[in-house]
Amino acid sequence: MILDPLQYVLGALSGSLVGLTLGLFGGGGSILAVPLMVYLVGVPNAHMAIGTSAFAVAANAGSNLVSHARLGNVKWRCAALYSVAGIVGAFLGSTLGKAIDGQKLLFLFALLMIVVGILMFRGRGREGDPGAECNRQNAPKVLGFGGVTGAFSGFFGIGGGFLIVPGLVASTGMPILNAIGSSLVAVAAFGLTTAFNYAFSGLVDWPLAFIFVAGGIAGGMLGAFLAKFLAGKKGALNTAFAGLIFVVAIYMLYKSAAAFV
């Protein structure tokens, strides 16, 4: 696929927005990436946009992970357990997702976002246990959540951070800031699994992906520091996270529904 120079510039700008979102919320980047690639950059094939964004979001998540790790926000054992289980789910989900119409995937995804947004908003005041860790008692629960969210991530072609964050909170009781930092490990793992599955079918535009990644690095660094600031205000980060999900879900429902008319 050949794009014109303006489309690559728009790709870099889109990447910066995705990087900011990933750094700030630990998720939501891939929620924005696919609509931006389809409606702003102008990628004509929905599955190409999904495959390309999966790689770009994974790479940006890896970059943002460095910032969160330096701030001490990552619980590595939990992140590793969650990611290992999710990689298997992401491979199976992405294999199935390639066979489904792209617009239908976006529509179903938007409905799922609304449900998750409601759950996050209801739990916005929970502070969590800073000492929460993964052990033999909660490992099965962590692995279960990881496998399920990995499958959703692969099926919808997303990094899955907006699912991983509440999954980590529910399975371990950790604070949302730790869940955000730890989720980036899984976002990167799930995204790479999905991207390479799509790449096997020729559904990744590599030049656009790398430009998207370059634009996301600066935005991600800013987002990580904003996340730490917002975490000091009770419920503010959870509320902002839920608000982002609702806004993008409504937009995607509108666009996806229009495609069926």
User: Would you state the pLDDT for residue 234?
Assistant: 47
**How confident is the prediction along the chain (261 residues), in pLDDT tens digits per residue?**
677 888 888 998 888 888 787 677 655 666 778 778 888 898 888 788 888 988 988 887 887 788 788 888 899 999 999 999 999 999 998 898 888 877 777 787 778 778 777 766 665 555 566 677 788 888 899 999 999 989 988 887 776 777 788 888 888 888 888 888 898 899 889 889 989 999 998 989 999 999 998 888 878 777 777 777 766 664 666 677 778 778 878 877 877 776 555
pLDDT in tens, 96-147: 888 887 777 778 777 877 877 776 666 555 556 667 778 888 889 999 999 9
Count of residues in the chain? 261
Which of 128, 197, 116 shows the shortest CA–CA distance to 157?
197
pTM score of the predicted model: 0.76
Q: Domain residues of the chain, as ranges?
A: 5-259
